[in-house]
Amino acid sequence: MKKTINIDKIHEGLCTKHIGARIIFLHETSSTNDLAKELAFSGSPEGTVVLAEAQTNGRGRLGREWVSPRGGLYFSVILRPRLAASEAAKLVFAAGLAVVEALDELYCLRTETKWPNDVIVNGRKVCGILSEMNMRNGLMDFVVVGFGVNANFDIKKALPEPLWANATSLWTELGRKIELGALFKEVLERLEKLYNSFLKNGSSPVLREWKKHAAFFGEYVEVISGNEYLSGLALDIEDDGSLTIKLDDGKVKHVFAGDVSLRRKSNPMSFK
């Protein structure tokens, strides 16, 4: 079967110092995050990347499945930042921003960031990011940042029906196939720049930039956070990475993990 990514071309053209210095390219794996974590546990250096043409057990946030057919872009990057866990958790903003910038640069595609770690086009998700970290003796050991981009496939042919309403693909949005290797390379290069800035200047500049692309600020949203259902006005992202919402009873709440969606218009009471 013809490869979906020309890895030799990537090795030749990649302009990064650390990220992608070693790329493990697989036809198929269970989950690039799982393999990257195994490698990180056994000492693989920062910048090692696991890239796969397809995943059989792709994982999303909150224990969900990430359906990963051929034609998508699936990769995970090992980072070893000397940061506290609370800071390292914000690396997802750098990762999301890297994707937003890459899609703009390569295809002039205007995307939005959606808290905490999605990239959306026209209200639908085109990329998800899964960041997992490990501490050792109270210190940061590694962070694995996994990217899943719905790229060269038709959502309705490649993904199960329950996902159609909220997912899109680059193929759908651009009306053509893209070169996966070019997108991979662009994201890695942008990630390295943003990561270096994050380490040097802290998370604020990255977060500020991420917010410029953020969807849903000033909009009425629903948030599912653990067992809690919240609804209110999305106000901001705080320096600690939490989402601030003004609840319907006027209280302000900071949410640290969850899923946000626009409040459905079918409930007119929601818009008072």
**Interface with ligand BTN (CB under 6 A):** 31-33, 55, 58-61, 64, 66, 68, 74, 76, 118, 128-130, 146-148
Question: Tokens 């110092």 correspond to what residue?
Answer: 17
- Residue closer to ligand BTN (CB basis): 166 or 201: 166
Which tokens is 272 given?
């008072």
CB of 59 to ligand BTN, least distance (A): 4
- H-helix or E-strand spanning residue 143: strand 139-149
CB of 126 to ligand BTN, least distance (A): 11
CB of 112 to ligand BTN, least distance (A): 14
> How many other CB atoms are found less than 10 A from the CB of residue 212?
10
User: CB neighbours of 162 closer than 8 A, spacing ≥ 6?
Assistant: none
| Residue 272: C-alpha distances to residues 223, 233, 268 (Å) | 18, 11, 8
- Residue closer to ligand BTN (CB basis): 59 or 263: 59
> How many other CB atoms are found less than 10 A from the CB of residue 160?
11
- Residue closer to ligand BTN (CB basis): 60 or 202: 60
CB of 73 to ligand BTN, least distance (A): 8
- Residue closer to ligand BTN (CB basis): 197 or 261: 261
Which tokens is 185 given?
């390379």
CB of 266 to ligand BTN, least distance (A): 25
CB of 114 to ligand BTN, least distance (A): 10
CB of 272 to ligand BTN, least distance (A): 32
- Residue closer to ligand BTN (CB basis): 55 or 111: 55
Concatenating the DSSP letter of every residue in 190-202 gives HHHHHHHHHHHH-
CA dihedral sign of residues 256, 208, 19, 31: positive
Question: Which residue's Cβ has the minimum distance to ligand BTN?
Answer: 128
> How many other CB atoms are found less than 10 A from the CB of residue 71?
20
Instruction: Please provide the distance, in angstroms rounded to a whole number, between the alpha carbons at the two ends of the chain.
Output: 56
- Residue closer to ligand BTN (CB basis): 130 or 207: 130
Asked if residue 66 lies in contact with residue 127, where contact means CB atoms within 8 angstroms, the answer is no
Asked if residue 126 lies in contact with residue 170, where contact means CB atoms within 8 angstroms, the answer is yes
- Residue closer to ligand BTN (CB basis): 17 or 64: 64
- Residue closer to ligand BTN (CB basis): 33 or 169: 33
CB of 50 to ligand BTN, least distance (A): 8
For the CA atoms of 10, 187, 20, 80, the dihedral, rounded to the nearest 10 degrees, stands at 180
